[in-house]
A and B are shown apart, each in its own frame.
Chain A
Amino acid sequence: ADLPALVIPADLLGTPATKSKPAAVDAKPPMRGTASPSRHEGTEAVGDAPARRRDRVSASRPAPAAEATAPTEPTGVTTVDADRIVGQQDVELVAEGQAVLKRDRSVLTADRIVYREALDEVEAEGNVTLRRGEDRLAGPKVQLRLDEQTGTLDSPTYEIHRISRKGGISRPITGSGEASVIRFEGENQYRLEDATWSTCQPQDPDWYIKAGELELDYDREIGVARHSTVVFQDVPIFYMPWAEFPLVAQRKSGFLPPTFGTSNKSGVELTAPYYWNIAPNYDATLVPRYISRRGLQLGGQYRYLTETMQGTTSLEWLSSDSVTGQSNRAAGSIRHQQNFGYGLSGSLDLNGVSDKEYFEDLSSRLALSAQTNLLRQGVLSYSSGSWWSASALAQSFQTLSGERPYRRLPQFTLGGNRLVWGGGEFNLATEYVRFAHPDANKPEGSRITLNPSVQFPLGTAAYTLTPKFGVHYTRYDLSTPLTVGEESITRAVPTFSLDGAMVFERETVWGGRDMIQTLEPRLYYVNVPYRDQSDIPNFDSGLFDFNFAQIFSENIFSGGDRIANANQLTAAVTSRMIDAETGVERLRAALGQRFYFEDQRVTLPGFAARTGRRTDILASLGGRIGKITTLDAGWQYSPEDRQTERFNADLRFQPAFAKVVNLGYRYTRDVLRDVDIAAQWPLGGRWYGVARYNRSLRDHRVTEALGGLEYDADCWVFRVVVHRYATNAEDVTQAIFLQLELDGLASVGSSPLDLLRRTVGGYGTINQPMADPVFGRE
């Protein structure tokens, strides 16, 4: 779910807590002046009686500076302005006819105002309007004590404006409505009876909360409604006996927007998450999900964050599934990270499901149903902060489909990295690991690796030359050897590499901006002698993908079971366009190839050795190619076969917020050929369309398709999304989601927003039209 970020409160961090109550917007020093009302004459023409002259009178009460509570603030002055003012000084002032009473930023207007200075009390009748800054309250009759800010206003309509600051984005929020009576209970505190509240336009709101009693606390920015109903387009949709809601779209306990949907796996579905904001750094979400065909599923998530630890625990449970007849179908996960101090830290990542089909049947998320193994691991790491570090790991898996992997029970590592002999860099990697396998016919065993190396970087900013020498020593103790008598195998391989790079630059202008263009040729030579490794089982080795990271690695294999023999040279050149003003890299192009001076002799079981003396050519181009266009493309070409081995290109065209088209094409020879189109586009009026289409041209199959419509009315958003994706070779999951989000009331989004953000790159949430300053658009 899309939940707000947890924050550690300042007082937990040991720093003094900042004042919790925001400073009063306008301080109101008590007015106890004794100066007599001064009079002045003014003339004003009034619309329907142009001939009649009207004398306006005003009374002003400056407070003596000596009595002002805050000398730096403007002193509280009460002025009364009206067509007629009568009354006795210091006792009662009666102002009639367009009467205006002002104190600091507060302005009260009415047909008739009675001001009793001694009591600091005001009574007003007839077209009463109370304004303070942008806030506005109006009614036929008010009674107020100015200093205490207490009193009542009959049959009011009100508008209260605040700025919401959420995730560094600020936007104005207006709460408005009407009531039978509003009681002022001190600054920023209002209690309303038979009241409504809405974030829509005050006139004829599309939705509102109607409550028997409503408290608006603008200090804590919380509203409390009792006996309340949510009314949408004049239709009551939700009754709440008691509910708290955020006045300024802050993180707040409450119901998240419910999602209604149907799917071919579950029938009709209704999810109504409840968010419990326990503390700024702890929260929980309870997710009851009614699935018509299967039953009621209960889900929950608990998150915490402190200075030394953070984590999330999630659990889902379906007591009995009426489709499969299984009882207690469940999924759970625990993620925990902890810093014990002194360089010691640990983490836990435990995941599990009750049965292998759980995600396929019950998850509406592709990221879950596309998994084959669920991780279960614990890690303890130590870092000295200077030059060495160590770790201990226990790792296992729950396998949902396919082959079961090896478990590392346990793995210990010790690593070091320090400067030696003035400019040299010594590196040490050691590992002890015991590989266990749940299948009895798989070889098990332990492996010790010592891999010290030393490198001497030479050169300047313009060129570098780095020779590196290393030894890779490994010892295996096998419980079931591959060949008879070989319980223990040792292998020692010296390695040598030489890495040379140069950097050229030039100043240029591109797209109307000053740029620095670089040209960075690089040569990388590796020499590793051959060692026979055919007796060594394969626990954790595999071939690296062929890419730029791989051609600058010593070994073509990942893992520790195979050290490839090498006598090879990589040649590559990179060019970057860097904005001279900001240092931001705008575009990068690269070209590279590797040349072999000897044949591959070390192979993985079941894999043939390479033939040929040179690799495919790698090319890439990525970055901003126009004002609104970005490209990310990679190409792998085989000169031997004169064929493209791999090609992918992603083009994004984003002219404005919530207006984006992504075009993608991915090709790997004999493996895949996919097209991927994803877009969000305004359709005119208040409608937006969202779509994604991902098709495997090779398998003639749609792997994922999504279509949606969003309607943005100022204070609410409606979304309908149809989603279809492949769950396994024959099966697809199809679902429809409907969501109504009332802005400000249930301001934390949930599915299908998650889904839209994941499936449509550059998706903009239409009712929050301001980009995230860090992770949003540039």
Chain B
Amino acid sequence: CGFHLRGQLDMPFQRAYLNASRNDPFMNRIARQLEINGVVLTERLKEAEVVIRIINIKRERDILSLNRAGKAREYRLLTTLSFAVERADGTTLRPAEGIAVRRDVTYDDTQLLAKGQEEAMLYRDMEDDIAQQLVRRLAATKTDAPAAR
């Protein structure tokens, strides 16, 4: 049916600068995903072919449904990451765009701590999901647009 084994993701750049601290676990996961796909993350902006600019990370938690008592029974968790790709001189390669993922979770106030840890697990799951989608999008970035080298 036309399916074949995937080859290495062909990243259009080898050296990138990520404008985020690896002290943040989410950013560290993004950095790991890039390294797994053969990208070297440079210490300095000047040494990089492209700059991956993380603009914003938004975590939201909305009530999805209520129980009879008007209290939350399900929440929807949302994580949105917005990013842009630039050349080292600041010109845009890929204008700002967002990746949004969501997970639904049931809520039970008799299990508050357990639910808190479950939500933390789901946020990590979403962050892994976003990191993978981000690398996919970065792999499709056109670095040979006019004005590049």
Contacts and interface: CB of A to CB of B under 8 A. Distances in A.
Contact of A725 (B9, B62, B70): B70
A559 B121 CA distance: 10
Nearest to A561: B114
Nearest to B6: A503
Given A369-B70, A504-B6, A583-B139, A549 B109 contact: no
Interface in A720-738: 725-729, 731
Interface in B40-82: 55-56, 58, 62-74, 80, 82
Interface in B96-125: 96-98, 100, 102-106, 108-115, 117-118, 121-122, 125
Interface in A730-757: 731
Nearest to A704: B66
A410 interface: no
Nearest to B138: A583
B2 A506 contact: yes
A547 interface: yes
Interface in B1-47: 1-9, 21-25, 37
Contacts of B70: 369-370, 703, 725-729, 731
A585 B136 contact: yes
Contacts of A507: 2
Contacts of A728: 69-71
A235 interface: no
A518 B6 contact: yes
Contact of A508 (B2, B62, B64, B122): B2
A505 B114 contact: no
B106 A558 contact: no
A370 B125 contact: no
Nearest to A503: B6
A366 B111 contact: no
A301 interface: no
Given A385-B23, A542-B111, A545-B105, A505 B71 contact: no
A406 B7 contact: no
Contacts of B100: 775
Interface in B112-149: 112-115, 117-118, 121-122, 125, 133, 136-141
A222 interface: no
Interface in A337-387: 343, 345, 366-367, 369-373, 383, 385
A408 B113 contact: yes
Nearest to B10: A461
Contacts of B138: 583
B92 to A, nearest CB: 12
A401 B71 contact: yes
B17 to A, nearest CB: 16
A385 B118 contact: no
B95 interface: yes
A75 B97 CA distance: 43
B63 A549 contact: no
Contacts of B80: 775
A343 B96 contact: no
A726 B65 CA distance: 11
Contact of B110 (A366, A385, A402, A694): A402
Interface stretch (A91-99, A201-209, A574-582): A574-582
A624 interface: no
Nearest to A703: B66
Interface centre among B1, B98, B111, B141 (most CB of A within 10 A): B111
Interface residues of B, number: 63
How many chain A residues sit at the interface, stated as a range, is 35 or more
A24 interface: no
Interface in A536-567: 539-545, 547, 549, 553, 557-559
Contact of B118 (A517, A542, A731): A542
Nearest to A552: B125
Nearest to A557: B114
B114 A559 contact: yes
Nearest to B137: A583
A405 interface: yes
Given A385-B21, A506-B2, A540-B114, A370 B8 contact: no
Contact of A773 (B5, B71, B96, B139): B96
A519 B6 CA distance: 10
Contacts of B58: 775
A701 B70 CA distance: 11
Contacts of B64: 666
Given A583-B136, A774-B56, A343 B23 contact: yes
Interface in A175-215: none
B22 A385 contact: yes
Contacts of A72: none
A585 B109 contact: no
A502 interface: yes
Contacts of A608: none
A431 to B, nearest CB: 11
A18 interface: no
B98 to A, nearest CB: 5
Interface string A638-678: 00000000001000000000000000001000011010000
Contacts of B136: 578, 583-585
A549 B121 contact: yes
A369 B71 CA distance: 8
Contacts of B109: 372-373, 401-403, 405
Contact of B3 (A408, A506, A541, A580): A506
A504 B97 CA distance: 27
A597 interface: no
A729 B22 contact: no
A461 B8 contact: yes
A462 interface: yes
A549 B82 contact: no
Contact of B113 (A508, A559, A583): A559
Contacts of A666: 64-65, 74
A403 B6 CA distance: 51
A584 B71 contact: no
Nearest to A386: B22
A672 B117 CA distance: 24
Contact of B114 (A506, A542, A672): A542
A60 to B, nearest CB: 41
Contacts of B22: 385
Q: Of B63, B71, B137, which is in contact with the most chain A CB atoms at under 10 Å from its CB?
A: B71
B103 A542 contact: no
A506 B118 contact: no
B69 A583 contact: no
Contact of A582 (B24, B37, B122, B137): B137
A774 B63 contact: no
Nearest to A582: B140
B1 A774 contact: no
Given A385-B21, A584-B137, A674-B65, A505 B125 contact: no
Interface in A21-54: none
Contacts of A405: 109, 112-113
Nearest to A575: B3
Contacts of A545: 105-106, 118
A370 B72 CA distance: 6
Contact of A462 (B7, B65, B114): B7
Nearest to B65: A674
B74 A461 contact: no
A510 interface: no
A366 B69 CA distance: 12
B60 to A, nearest CB: 10
Given A504-B4, A558-B118, 12 more contacts: A385-B23, A389-B23, A406-B113, A463-B5, A502-B5, A508-B2, A517-B3, A547-B103, A558-B117, A558-B121, A583-B137, A704-B66
6 contacts: A383-B23, A542-B115, A558-B115, A703-B70, A773-B96, A774-B97
Interface of B: 1-9, 21-25, 37, 55-56, 58, 62-74, 80, 82, 95-98, 100, 102-106, 108-115, 117-118, 121-122, 125, 133, 136-141
Nearest 8 A-B pairs (CB), nearest first?
Answer: A542-B114, A583-B140, A540-B113, A583-B137, A462-B5, A504-B3, A405-B112, A383-B23
